[in-house]
Every structure is written in C-alpha cells, then in structure tokens.
Structure 1
Amino acid sequence: MSPDPTSTDQVRTDQFGPDLVEVFGPSQQDGGPDLVQLLTPEGERVHHPDFDMDFSAEQLRGFYRDMVLTRRIDTEATALQRHGELGIWAQLLGQEAAQIGAGRALRPQDYVFPTYREHGVAWCRGIDPLDLLGLFRGVDHGRWDPAEKNFGQYTIVIGAQVLHATGYAMGMQRDGVVGTGEPDRDAAVIAHFGDGASSQGDVNEGFIFAASYNAPVVFFCQNNQWAISEPIERQTRIPLYQRALGFGFPGVRVDGNDVLATYAVTQAALQRAREGQGPTLIEAYTYRMGAHTTTDDPTRYRLSADVEHWKLKDPIARVEAYLKRNGLVEGGFLESVQQEANELGHHLREGCKSLPDPDPRGIFDLVYDEMPEELTQQRDEFIAYHASFSEEGASA
C-alpha cells in the first residue's frame, strides 16, 4: 500500500528526514530542549544561563495577583457571553503567564500592538477591563485612549498589527527615541500575535521590514498550539522561534506558562530593541485551555487527554505553589486576592449591563476631518429617518 500523502507524519519523515520528527514528537509537549524556564510546573525555582534574574517577594505576589485577576476577567466575560450580554469573547484561559510576564516587562514609553486576546496585557497597561467588554458587546470600538495607554486598539484582522507595529517602531527611530542611552526616553514596540497568525503574509512582511531597518520591535508569538482548529504541526516544520534566523534576527522559545521566564525574556528583548539592536522573535510556548472564542467547540478537533496534560502546567498554580513553599502568603494574601477578584467580577457584571447603547448617528463622526457634502446629506437623511419612528410612536 502506498503511503497516505495527507499524513503529516509520513510527509514529515519523507521530506525532512527522521530527525525532524522529534521536533513534534512527545518531547515537544514540554517545549523541547531550548525552552527557557525559571519556574517548573511543580513550582520549583530553576535557573537559566542567559535569562536568570532575581525576583522580590513583592514582584512574585504581584505576578500572582495579576494572573488571578486576569483569569477572573476571562471567566466573567465568558459567562456574560453565555447569558447574551456579549456578542462574542476571545478566551485566554491558560495563557495568563505569557501575557502578564510580557505586560509587566514594559516601560511606560513602550507601545503595544495587540490582537483581540491580550486582556492580560491590557490589564498591565491600566485599562479598565470594562472597556474591553464594550467592544465585544458591540457598543463601542474600545473606550481606552491608545495614545494615553500606549496600547493600540484590538486588531481583528489576523496579523495586521505586526505591520502596524513595525511601522511604528521605524517611526520611533526617526523620532530619536531609540539608542540614546536615556532609560526614560528609549522606547520599543511589542507586537502580539498567535501561532496561526504566523502563517499570514502580513506577519512575514513585518519581519522583513523590521530586519531591514533594524527596527526596535519585539514580535511576541503566543503559541497556544491551535490556529482555531489547525494544530501547530500543520503550520510549520520547525519550531516557530527558529524562523527568526531566516529573517536575520534572534528567536527565543520561552515557557509561556512560566510568568518569571516570560518576564525575563521579554524584558531582555525589549531592552535590546531600545538600545538599537533590532528585533527579536519570542515564542511563548503555551496552550489554549479554552476555546478559540465562545463560538468555537474545541472538543471537535482536540483530545481531552491533551487538555488534562496541560492542566498540570497551570501558570497560576505553579506560582501559588512557589509562594506557599517559601512562606510568601502570610497575612491572608491569597484570601485578599480572591476577594479582589470577586469585587472585579461584580464590577464587570454590573458595568457590562449598564453600558449605554451607541447613538446611531455616531457612524458619521470621525470619518472625515471636514465632512463632504454627500456624506452630510446622507447623515441628515438618516437623522430624519431615525426621528420618524419616534414621531410615528407619538402620533399613535
């Protein structure tokens, strides 16, 4: 019998040799030998020759708090969608460490270009999560000010934000805020995207321009191993971080469920960019514990055994284990974080239901600086049409 040409294992062996099978073999569940890790799934502190650093008790508790509250945002938003209060929600369950580690590594002057799932990074930038819910409720486009928060609007077009980030980083070079040696001035850009987006042309074009211009941008890929229903081995024959070498800049694979390692690697990459040493690709190796969005049913395409395997690598549980083992939770710290999470949940439930519906006439605003005559006429006709309903109701 001839081999099945659609078999990924057969194609991988025939075209690339048996050694490469190990790239996506069982050991890949742990990220492979190049994975940067500082905190094991059991909560044990380990060290890395290139990215080791010390963390204060305050930092460790802060990471834990951030992740717990970020997970609560995700849980509440999912429940609100199920109750019909949101049109859709992009879940981040299991990816809290990747987002909090990257978010806390930022300086105020750095700029973030997110996808539609960076709720934890938004939290680190001081954005009220209720402002995220307005977007998914369909009553606004996200109420935060990107210029004030240095956090761009959520991007639905897959991979487009990578081009935006690269262009913005090139602008920073021309503004003279890269490589000056002034810590409060030098800035960098970070672009978030997923493993699925890495297959998009926009992402690869961003890589090319960033490399050509040595742009101060960090490409942060959250490899949660599923591009909706497509597994990572269908998208690439080598680990994603190794792609960077083909574009001429370094790539690093970090344990995306380890908030300490993610913080250390992202901090180093951002500093490298601020100093004018160019781009870096970070592959945060993690797993999407939930669905792609609340319209997705992941049980149709993945095994429950894989989910159970990754539950043992829970990013919050490993930090909690470390804190308890080292006596860093005295004074009711865990209870206080849980109480704060409950208060945040109440804020989101009540606030979401109270979000005002938008004025339909607002679709004509912010389109042109000076509204052309044709659009002015359309607006006036729409206003008159809309008003006619209230007049009919009054006459009845």
Structure 2
Amino acid sequence: MLKHVLETVENQFEMLQILNEEGKIVNEDLVPDLSDDELKELMRRMVYTRILDQRSIALNRQGRLGFYAPTAGQEASQLASHFALEKEDFLLPGYRDVPQLIWHGLPLYQAFLFSKGHFHGNQIPEDMNALPPQIIIGAQYIQTAGVALGMKKRGKKAVAVTYTGDGGTSQGDFYEGINFAGVYKAPAIFIVQNNGFAISVPRELQTNAKTLAQKAVAAGIEGIQVDGMDVFAVYAATKHARERAINGEGPTLIETITYRYGPHTMSGDDPTRYRSEELDNEWAKKDPLIRFRKYLESKNLWSEEEENKVIEEAKEDIKNAIKQAEKYPKQKVTDLIANMFEELPSHLAEQMEEYKAKESK
C-alpha cells in the first residue's frame, strides 16, 4: 500500500516540455504569449550571457577575477525564469545566479567586483530588489520565505524568487524554507536547477526521490518539473507560479532539468573525474541556445548577423566593465572591519585604529 502511494505521487511529476531539441513546438496549448520583440530579447540575453560566461572563465584564468561558477548550459533555466518576472519582484540568487542579478539591474562591473571579493560588489543599487548571491548552500530558501511573507504583509503584488541546485535540496534550509512559505501562503517561487551533479555527487546519491519537484508535496505547495533547456517550458512554469503567488495561492517549487557544461566552479573542480564524455556529448545536443535559435530562425526572427552583433556588444561591455572594476579603489582591512558592525565592539575598535595607522603610512 505504501509503495503504491509513493508511485502514484511520483508518476504525477512528468517533465513539461514545449520546445524540443530540434526547435519544434511539441505542446501548442502552452506556448507562451510572447511578442516577436520579446522572443528576440530573450535570445539576445542568452547569447550575451553565454559570451559573459566564456569571458569570465578566461578572466578567472588570467587572475583578473576571483570566485566564479560557470553558467553555460543553464541559460534557459536562469534567463527564461527571470524573463517571467517583473522589476518589483525580489531576487535571492545562489552563487551561480549572477546573470539573473545583472538582468535585474546589477551593473556588470559590480558583478566583477563580487567575484573579486570586493564589498562594493554586494552593495545592491537602491532601486533594485535583490540580495547578493548566497554562498551558503540552501540558505537563500529560508531568506526567500521571510522576504515573501514580508511582501504579503505589506500588500505588495510581487513575488520573492530564489534558486538553488539539486544539492541544495538536501539541506535542512530547503525544507524549512518551503514549509514556512507554504504555511503562510507566502508569494514565493522556489527554483531548483537540477544539473545532475551537486559539485561532484550525482543526483541519485543526493536523494531517493524520483524527482525533486515532488518534494513540494510534503510542504503542501505546488511542484512542477520542466525541461530546463527549454526556454518556453521554463518561462511558462515561472509565469504560472508568479500568477498563483500574487493571487494568494501560495508558493511553487519548480525543478528545471538542466546541465552545466563547465566545472562546478573555477576553484579547482575537474568534472572529467565524475562525468563521462558520452554524457557531456548527450547534453551538448540539448543546448538551450541551439534549440531556441532553430525555432527563431524558422520564424525568420533571428540571423547570424544579429547574433554576431550581440556577441560584439557583449565583448565590448565586458571589456569596459572589467576595466572599471580594476580601477575601483582597492578594498582595505579597515573597510572590512567597518562593514561588519554598525557599532564596533571594543576589540575591533582597537584593530580599526591599528590598521588605520598602517594604511596611512
């Protein structure tokens, strides 16, 4: 009986797909109502972000950037979900989700400062609803529940949106966050980007659950699994979740089945130790840019000329932004101490004076 109940629940979570690997529509009823200009803008952002990823990896290897988590392969999961949001929505990203922050309003040079460990990289512009990228795995889920509840209590027609990877669903914060949000019907969207490997551990060793979307059932919230390489499926699921949230129907958990083509981070991870070349090749055929490009070209909405224009624009922006980041005043020890507390405790006050004297020489 118990096994039957489990199988019944698991079988209800089928992966939603609208645009297949060949760039063909396979679910006409759910195609998002996006204008030609919106479709082209979404493609522009994906191409731009792929170039940003390539250049960021190169800058990291040159020693010009610090911490960096590659994003290639996850553009549909990241950018199509963000495209379904509004400016007033509050973004709580993980460390791989810097692209969403940039498209939400974070200046590119500040994204580079974040990578370099400079405090100004975490100073979100006043007109931008977001928190800096969360480094602690899963912690953003609890924060999102709180932000969403605050928005509800203030009567705001907006949502709080967060991201984590498949490994994040193994953290206690994940369950506490979705449970709290569910209890209070907080307007939150919880996105799990399931790229198959939490750093180096296969998803199958993270959990015995058939899907990650089904974890929503235990919290009494809606859950859905989508093809994370399909821009339309991700957009449609996020748009649906946002409408539910602002209508008082509570949070949604979205699992996007995706893949990261690069390492977990540039800090020494070697994916060849835990992923096969065959698996990489299999997922390369599912590239979100390739399938979306095929679709747009079939509608005469995209061309090689337009794509090259975006590539050159991205390269120029990146060149200017890294120059700006490198010219920014270096972070001092006194900056670090001053940013820790509003009123310094006695031992840090002593250290502050000590380092002020050193830095003045």
Per the normalisation by structure 1, the TM-score is 0.84
CA separation of 1:91 and 1:331: change in aligned 2, threshold 3 A: closer
Tell me which residue corresponds to 1:71: 50
Q: Secondary structure at the match of 1:241?
A: coil
The reply to whether residue 302 of structure 1 matches residue 275 of structure 2 is: yes
The 3-state SS of whatever aligns with 1:45 is coil
Counterpart among 203, 226, 248 of residue 174 in structure 2: 203
Post-superposition shift, 1:54?
Answer: 2.5
Q: Secondary structure at the match of 1:278?
A: coil
The Cα shift of 1:16 comes to 7.0
Q: Is the 8 A contact 1:172 1:187 kept in 2?
A: yes
Matches within 5 A, 1:80-159: 80-140=59-119, 142-145=121-124, 147-159=126-138
Please give the secondary structure, in 2, of the residue aligned with 1:149: coil
Question: Is 1:40 paired with 2:13?
Answer: no
**Structure 1 residue 330, shift from structure 2 partner:** 5.9
> Residue 317 of structure 1 corresponds to which residue in structure 2?
290
Query: Counterpart in 2 of 1:354?
Result: 327
Percentage identity across paired residues of the two chains: 37
Question: Residues of 1 paired with 2:53 and 2:354: CA distance?
Answer: 41
Query: What CA deviation, in whole Å up to 9, does each residue of 1:102-146 have, x standing for no partner?
Result: 111111211011000112211220222221111221223524426
Residue matched to 2:263: 291
Q: Is the 8 A contact 1:196 1:227 kept in 2?
A: yes
Deviation at 1:67, TM superposition (A): 0.4
Say if 2:183 is the partner of 1:212: yes
Partners of 1:153 and 1:146 in 2: CA distance: 11
Q: Residue type of the partner of 1:44?
A: K
Distance of aligned partners of 1:68 and 1:298 in 2 relative to their CA distance in 1, 3 Å threshold? same
1:197 deviates by: 0.5
Cα distance between partner residues in 2 of 1:305 and 1:298: 13
Determine helix, strand or coil for the equivalent of 1:357.
coil
1:315-371 alpha-carbon deviations (Å, 9 max, x no partner): 111111112122113694223222212323322443343343113211222333334
Q: Which moved more, 1:124-133 or 1:370-379?
A: 370-379
Counterpart amino acid of residue 84 in structure 1? G
Q: What amino acid maps onto 1:105 in structure 2?
A: A
Equivalent in 245, 251, 257 of residue 229 of structure 2: 257
Deviation at 1:172, TM superposition (A): 1.4
Paired residues of 2:47 and 2:307 also in contact (CA < 8 A): no
Segment of structure 1 superposing worse, 290-299 or 37-46: 37-46
Distance 1:275 1:128 in 2: 32
For 1:260, give the aligned amino acid: F
CA apart distance, 1:285: 0.8
Asked whether the 8 Å contact 1:254–1:265 carries over to 2, the reply is yes
Question: How well do the aligned residues superpose, as a CA RMSD in angstroms?
Answer: 2.3
The one-letter code sitting in structure 2 at the alignment partner of 1:278 is: G
**2:346 aligned with 1:367:** no
Distance 2:23 2:303 in 1: 18
Say if 1:372 and 1:345 are closer, same or farther in 2 by CA, change over 3 A: closer
CA contact (8 A) 1:195 1:221 kept: yes
Q: Does 1:326 align with 2:306?
A: no
1:137-193: CA deviations, max 9, x gaps? 12235244265211211110111110001011111122122xxxxxxxx11111111
Aligned residues: 354
Q: 1:146 to 1:205 in 2, by over 3 A?
A: farther
Q: CA deviation at 1:94?
A: 0.2
Verify the 8 A CA contact 1:119 1:129 in the aligned structure 2. Answer: no
Q: Confirm or deny: 8 A CA contact 1:73 1:129 kept in the other structure.
A: no
Q: Higher Cα Rg: structure 1 or 2?
A: 1
Give yes or no for contact 1:254–1:285 (8 Å, CA) kept in 2: yes
Deviation string, structure 1 residues 206-226 (Cα, Å, up to 9, x no partner): 111111111111101111111
Change (3 A) 1:386 1:332: closer
Structure 1 residues 199, 327: CA separation in 2 closer, same or farther (over 3 Å shift)?
Answer: same
